[in-house]
Structures are given as structure tokens and as C-alpha cells.
Amino acid sequence: MTFFSYDAGINTFDTANAYSHGESEIILGKAIKQHNFVREKIVVMTKVYCAVSPDTANAQISHLSGDALDKLGYVNQHGLSRKVSTLQLDYNDVLQCHRFDYATPVGETMRALHDVVQAGLVRYIGMSSVMLHIMQNYAKTNLTPFISMQDHYSLLYREEEREMFPTLKVMPIQSRLPALWRHFDPWSPLARGKLARPLVEQKSTKRAGADRKEGVSAPIWTTNIDHFTDAIQVRLSEEELKYLEEQYTPQPVYGHS
């Protein structure tokens, strides 16, 4: 699927150290080399935070954090102390904080992220479902700023429009990457498939696809490539967009650490 995506013109691939218990990064890295992707023409994004056990039977530890992991013997193997990735690439284009690391001082986290950028292992840094303002403020002290935000967002969950979207418009550090700091990449854009089929078929859904919204740079896709290429051609009218959005009601915050 990676090859067909690349052949169809997709140039951005998002993964994480914990996806499929680490196999996602390995498969993506191998595919890039096997199919001779032009490295300068693709964007590879990965994330760190979750612990990954060398034993596949312990895959569920990725949902644990802090003291719970320490008690199981995973000391210094979680949070942002993990290695950059298992992609086996010379560099990652964007390294993202998968969740907020409460066990590590923000200043220490920001310095570590800055160091991997300075070392050439990572080009830029981003965030996913974490508290933006607390960490981005540290970038004002000559550290590497974040250039992207990956949050939970769909027609069924639009809470990011209240604070995150306005924040992304006003928060860029003017002297460093102001044009890039507008990238919002939603995960679960079809609400794990709930928006993709009738209610009677909800139990059979899989998280897939994406929708379009002003302020959204690149939805995170995990879908059949034929469905994706067909969806590229879909354009909604203003009336259709209004109809889809008018029934929304406020929701409790969900999908963040």
C-alpha cells in the first residue's frame, strides 16, 4: 500500500514508535528503501512517547505511563526518553510528541527535542494531542519551535475550533518558520468510521478516510488506496458544508493527555 500511495502522488507518511508495536516504523522504513522512494520528495513523520516492549505479548503497555511502567521494569523506556525511531532513515522530517510527558520537566523535553534537530536527526518537531502553549512558549528562548499539531478532529468532534485553530493563527514565532506553523493534521477525521457508513453498520467500521476543513493541512489517512484516490476528486458545496456542520453540539474534551 505504501508503494501505491507514493505512486498516486501521496508524499507524506505518518507513523509512531508504538503503532503495531513498533512494526509500523520498520515496515515504512523498509518500503522507502525497497521501492527507492526519492527521499527529498517525501515527508516522514513519526511520534515518540509510548513504551514499546521487546515482547509482542506485552503490546498493551503502550497505553500505560509513568509509575505504572516503572513498576513493570520499563525505566527510561517511555515518555520522550525513547530512541528517535526504528525507521532506519538518515533523518526524520517531523518528530512529534505523541502525548504530554508529565514525568519530565517541559524544559528538559524541549531541550532534548532541540538537540535532535541540531544533530540533524530530525528536521522539524511537532505535537499530537498535547498542551500546545505550555511547550511552545519555551521555544522563545532560542529553542526549536513546533511547526505542526496533530489533534482529534472530525464532524463529530470539533472542539479544536474553539481554541486550537485561533491559537495556530496567532502563535507563530515570527522570526522562525512563520509560514510553516499553521499545519494542523487531524487524526480520526471520520470518527473511526462512524461518518463513513449508515448507523446500522457502525459495529463493522474501521478508522479511515478524511474530511476537508479550512485550517486542516493534511488529514491522517489509513484507508484503501482506491477509496482514497476517488475521494480526492470530491468537492463539497457551501450548502453541503453548512448542512454537515449545523447539527454539531459541544462535546467533552476527548483524545488528549
Cell of 184: 494542523
Q: Is 80 helix (H, G, I), strand (E, B) or coil?
A: helix
Strand order in the sheet with 43-48: 12-14, 43-48, 92-97, 122-128, 146-150, 183-184
Confirm whether 19 is a catalytic residue. yes
Those residues whose C-beta lies under 8 Å from the C-beta of residue 200, and which sit 6 or more positions away, are none
3-state DSSP helix/strand/coil % of the chain, to nearest 5: 40, 15, 50
| CA atoms of 251 and 36, how far apart (whole Å) | 44
Those residues whose C-beta lies under 8 Å from the C-beta of residue 104, and which sit 6 or more positions away, are 79, 80, 81
Which of 88, 98, 136 minimizes the C-alpha distance to 114? 136
Spot the catalytic one: 6, 19, 124, 153: 19
In the 8-state DSSP scheme, what is residue 22? G
Cell of 30: 523498509
> Which residues are known catalytic residues?
19
